[in-house]
Amino acid sequence: MPLPLYALTAGAFGIGVSEFVIMGLLLHVGADLGVTIATAGLLISGYALGVVLGAPILTVLTGRWPRKRVLVALMAVFTAGNLACALAPSYGALMAARILTALAHGTFFGVGSVVATGLVPAERKASAIAVMFTGLTAANVLGVPLGTWIGQQFGWRATFWSVTAVGVMALVVIAILVPRDARPSEHAEWRADMRVILRPAVLLCLPTTVLGYAGVFAVFTYIAVFAVFTYIAPLLTHVGGFPESAVSPILLVFGGGLVAGNLIGGRLADRNLPATIVGTLAALGLVLALMTPGFHARPSAILLTGLLGAAGFATVAPLQIWVLSKAAGAGQSLASSVNIAAFNLGNAIGAWAGGTVIAHGVALSVVPLAAAIFPATAILVALLNMNIGRR
């Protein structure tokens, strides 16, 4: 893979750390700023809202810029947002800074996906997107635990100072390594781009992404109103019978699955995209369904945790390259960015669904089985889209 691609990976790493590291720092943020854990947890929702809103808006506003300039400007916004987080004097200021940071998220991954595919031959486009998203998986495996440790040892502001430094470094390597592109990121004006988004084949890609990723986050997400744990953590302790000290090592297995699944999904998508879309979603649904009986035995619980990471992230590159292929020509950057927003919408819906299932008294072990409904539905939408494409 060409060196400029790894500059995009560096940017993805910084953005991934900034998005997820707050989960492990909410107790510290709440105590320092004088708010409850539930209120502090809204910093996660605020970020997701910023991604969903910022992705299409910033993509349209920067649509006439060369793509390299867009990426550099977005990393500047990201860095400024994290600096504002580190300096935030109040909860309201921190929320505003988080939303500012999130504005860069969707457009960076959207435009970055288009740039990544332009750096490689046609038969390696999905793999290129997977390499860029490796930065996001590395953020979960390495960056978030390290950032959480820094915050616990030196205060939560120190974490955001560290992420600010990562943003500066990513900005520099993107400015140096990503080749200059004299062309604007889109040749058509925004109304024409919107017509591309409204094509049935493009439009149906978005609910496929939302439903596919909702299944992952119905199981792996933060319970803001109860405690600073993911659903996977209580599954491991209350259903699997693991001690709390074993959760972090087992989550490393999940992280390893993220990395492996991401790269494998990209390679498979380069060979046969439609089969990979259906196959990865089916694998995700199967893993989720098996978690309900499988988490009652420790060896299978560990295995299924790793497979959840692999199956969940194996869908990312195929879903992203799929929307790019459906929006070939003008409108690619906007379609790509909106699809990133769809991933985050899936996160929010999955988190809400998982919490709703638990709140209605359903056993914790049944949550993964209920979550399997999402990828199963996503397969139906994907097959409908493929049938439209044949006409």
386: Cα separation from own chain's centroid: 25
The alpha helices in the chain, defined as continuous H runs, are: 3-20, 26-33, 37-61, 67-87, 91-118, 125-138, 144-154, 156-177, 190-197, 200-203, 205-219, 232-234, 247-271, 273-294, 298-314, 316-326, 332-359, 367-371, 373-390
Q: State the pLDDT confidence band at 229, using cuts at 50, 70 and 90.
A: very low
At 220, phi and psi to the nearest 5? Answer: -115, 90
CA–CA dist 40, 219 (Å, integer): 21
Closest CA to 44 of 58, 24, 28, 60: 24
> What superfamily does domain 186-391 belong to in CATH?
MFS general substrate transporter like domains (1.20.1250.20)
Q: Which of 203-217, 223-237, 272-286 has the lowest mean pLDDT?
A: 223-237
Q: What is the structure's pLDDT at 364?
A: 66
Question: If DSSP codes are grouped into helix, strand and coil, which group holds residue 317?
Answer: helix
Q: What is the pLDDT of residue 202?
A: 67
Position 217 confidence tier, pLDDT thresholds 50, 70, 90: low
pLDDT tens, residue by residue, 323-359: 877 766 666 777 777 777 777 777 667 666 666 666 6
Q: CA end-to-end span of the chain, whole Å?
A: 36
Reply yes or no on whether the pLDDT at 190 is more than 60.
Answer: no
| Contact yes or no for 345/46 (Cβ under 8 A) | no
Angle formed at CA 300 by CA 295 and CA 303, multiple of 5 degrees: 110
Vertex 8 angle, CA 4 and 9, to 5°:
110
pLDDT (0 to 100) of residue 77: 92
Half-sphere exposure of 319 toward its Cβ, with a 13 Å CA cutoff? 36
Q: CA–CA separation, 320 vs 343, rounded Å?
A: 10
Poorest-confidence range of 65-69, 154-158, 365-369?
Answer: 365-369
Q: Is 230 helix (H, G, I), strand (E, B) or coil?
A: strand
Buried b (16+ CB within 10 A) or exposed e, 340-365: bbbbbbbbbbbbebbbebbeeeeebb
* Confidence (pLDDT) at 294: 82
Question: For residue 55, what are its two tokens?
Answer: 């992705």
Confidence of residue 226 (pLDDT cuts 50, 70, 90): very low
Q: Do domains 1-185 and 186-391 have the same CATH topology?
A: yes
Q: Which residue has the tokens 């990395």?
A: 259
Map out the domains of the chain as residue ranges.
1-185, 186-391
Assess whether pLDDT exceeds 80 at residue 189. no
pLDDT over 60 at 223, yes or no: no
The arithmetic mean of pLDDT across residues 177-200, rounded, is 62
Rg (CA), the chain: 20
Classified by CATH at the fold level, domain 1-185 comes out as Growth Hormone; Chain: A; (1.20.1250)
pLDDT of residue 22: 81
